Amino acid sequence: MRVASVLALGASAIVLGSCGGGDSSGPPTGGPTPPPTLSVTLSKSSDTIVLQEGETASFGFDASYTGTSPQPIVADVAIGGERYALKGSPTANGTSFTLEFETLPLAAGGEKTSTITFRLCTSANCSTVYPGSTQTFQLTLDVQLEDWGMFQRNAAHTGYVAAHYDPADFADAWTWDLAAGETLELSSTRGKVFVTQRNYFGQSDVHALSAEDGSKLWTRSLGDQAYTSGPSFSDGKVFVTSMQSSSDTNPQWVLDSETGNVLQQMIFSAQWHDFAQPTVFGDSVFVAAGYYGNVVYDFDHTDGTKVWERNGSGGAIWDGQTVAADEDYVYYYSGGAMDVFNRLTGELVKSMADPDFDWRGYSWEAAPVLDGNGRVFGFTSPRAYEWDTKLSGYSVTSGAKIWNTEALYTTAPAYAHDRLFAARHGLQLIDAINPATGAVDFSLAFPGSDTARSNVVIADNLLFVSGTSKTYAFDLSQTGYPVVWESDAYGMHLAISPDNLLLISDSNRVRAVSLAP
């Protein structure tokens, strides 16, 4: 981007002298007089700015010049980066200019170095540049998006990334294929993507892939396992829940994310259970299991000890669930009730009854979703055999269920922009559900007859979801919420990495789409 402004005029004049007598004419000129040299000095030549997700910052520098000109002096600024802009116009102060810049709201993640070029010209189109005036400023901008650490990204399971993306920038990045087994939900930190390779009642492995090109960085064999979860990531560690057999000694793995080495291995009870990704919050890793289900375990992943173990109040959910957590509580759907435990002690603080619970097997295949305002959302019924069920909302403040949807929903929803976005069963719709009432505020329509197959993932302006044959991006900022991008890559599990990769996992393949240059 280039900005040019006439901000100062030269104060000097050309003074012509003459001699008495004789021919006073000078030699003929071959064109216009070249502009004089204006030597520019910047107050600093570079800067480094580090932002956390959602933050903005301002920066700038002064440009001073020496010399004079009878012609206009125009400040011209060319910006080489895409994640910041000039704030207002350069401010003139005698023979110097002050330039201020600001980062764009919800900038894409990653570290990028770009160049800002400053120069002085005789006109706004900068057809003539003053010699000596061109100087460059190097900016390194590092936007550190949070990790996609666990089921639906975080311990609240919102599936939301506070970053703005332009579909015109999207490009296929890499594909990684498994020779055998299947992939599950993914997790990612900067530079790495973590994948579980599961073979039912066979060898299971955890792989770390390079976010840059999908090459394998390390593999950790877990040996023969009956069931294995997708990997979670936090604090430089990878967490995988698995079971070797129906027993009280099934392993909760803690691996070093740099090497794959085993750091801790805690044990828990399970009876032929499948598992969702474990939830990590602080020093705790929470596992929903139990020999007869209905048990939440809190393990300290720093020393490998069990902090607490508690039964849920309902007793109707055995597996396929991960809990939600915040600073105060752990949330667990026990079948017939949404239970709230004290996060530090495991004490059952309240149990919010779900009178609409319909028992259809023991596997919930979901997670509670938190809105950060004292509300919890979740499916009303197990989903192992029938994937469609109603969604419910609960108020922790009142300690009760506050709504139930009329429609049925299928895949894991996402929470963003004060709405719960969920895939409607039997219709080609993503509904935006009001968190206070459960009413559908608006809907996004799939093209053709496609329906949702994956979890819902949301960036600032875009909603991503895979259908049965494509992955789509809906624009939440446009009227009608149109599909603005689609890809033939599709899958069961989506994630957005801190490196701006849309990760698409299906069966034995992971594909990555770059969302930002």
Residue 228 lies in a domain: no
- List the one residue out of 244, 162, 260, 169 whose CA is nearest residue 208: 260
Residue 273 contacts residue 259 (beta carbons within 8 Å): no
Residue 207 lies in a domain: no
* Six-digit token string for 303: 């020393």
Distance, in Å, from the CA atom of 513 to the CA atom of 77, rounded to the nearest integer, reads: 33
Beta pairing, strands 471-475 & 462-466:
antiparallel
Within 10 angstroms of residue 243's Cβ, the number of other Cβ atoms is: 25
Residue 387 has pLDDT above 90, yes or no: no
pLDDT tens-place string over residues 174-206? 999 998 889 889 999 999 999 999 888 889 999
Residue 2 has pLDDT above 80, yes or no: no
pTM of the model: 0.91
Residue 385's pLDDT is: 67
Mean of the pLDDT values across residues 34-57?
Answer: 97
* Six-digit token string for 157: 């399971």
* Least confident residue range of 47-56, 59-68, 381-390, 472-481: 381-390
**DSSP structural state of residue 242:** E
Distance, in Å, from the CA atom of 238 to the CA atom of 221, rounded to the nearest integer, reads: 13
Please provide the distance, in angstroms rounded to a whole number, between the alpha carbons at the two ends of the chain. Answer: 16
Residue 403 has pLDDT above 60, yes or no: yes
Distance, in Å, from the CA atom of 430 to the CA atom of 419, rounded to the nearest integer, reads: 11
Residue 26 has pLDDT above 50, yes or no: no
pLDDT tens-place string over residues 416-454? 999 999 999 878 899 999 999 999 999 999 998 899 999
Mean pLDDT of the chain: 92
Sequence letter at residue 342? N
Residue 23's pLDDT is: 40
pLDDT tens-place string over residues 446-458? 998 899 999 999 9
pLDDT tens-place string over residues 323-359? 999 999 999 999 999 999 999 999 999 999 999 999 8
Residue 102 lies in a domain: yes
Residue 31 has pLDDT above 80, yes or no: no
Residue 389 has pLDDT above 90, yes or no: yes
Residue 20's pLDDT is: 32
Give the residue numbers spanning the domain of 68. 2-12+32-144
Mean of the pLDDT values across residues 290-309?
Answer: 97
Residue 179's pLDDT is: 84
Residue 126 has pLDDT above 60, yes or no: yes
Residue 374 contacts residue 393 (beta carbons within 8 Å): no
pLDDT tens-place string over residues 497-513? 999 999 999 989 999 99
Residue 46 lies in a domain: yes
Distance, in Å, from the CA atom of 198 to the CA atom of 276, rounded to the nearest integer, reads: 13
Mean of the pLDDT values across residues 283-297?
Answer: 96
Residue 30's pLDDT is: 59
Residue 56 lies in a domain: yes
Residues 101-127: b if buried by 16+ CB within 10 A, e if exposed: bebeebbbbbebeeebebbbbbeeebe
Residue 507's pLDDT is: 86
Residue 96 lies in a domain: yes
Residue 495 lies in a domain: no
Beta pairing, strands 46-52 & 135-144:
parallel
Residue 274 lies in a domain: no
Mean of the pLDDT values across residues 384-397?
Answer: 89
Residue 184's pLDDT is: 86
pLDDT tens-place string over residues 249-274? 999 999 999 999 999 999 999 998 88
Mean of the pLDDT values across residues 80-88?
Answer: 95
Domain count, the chain: 1
Residue 27 has pLDDT above 90, yes or no: no
- 487 forms beta bridges with 471
pLDDT tens-place string over residues 208-220? 999 999 999 999 9
Residue 61's pLDDT is: 98
Residue 503 contacts residue 510 (beta carbons within 8 Å): yes
Mean of the pLDDT values across residues 96-121?
Answer: 97
Task: Read off the CATH number of the domain in which 123 is found.
Answer: 2.60.40.10
Residue 28 has pLDDT above 60, yes or no: no
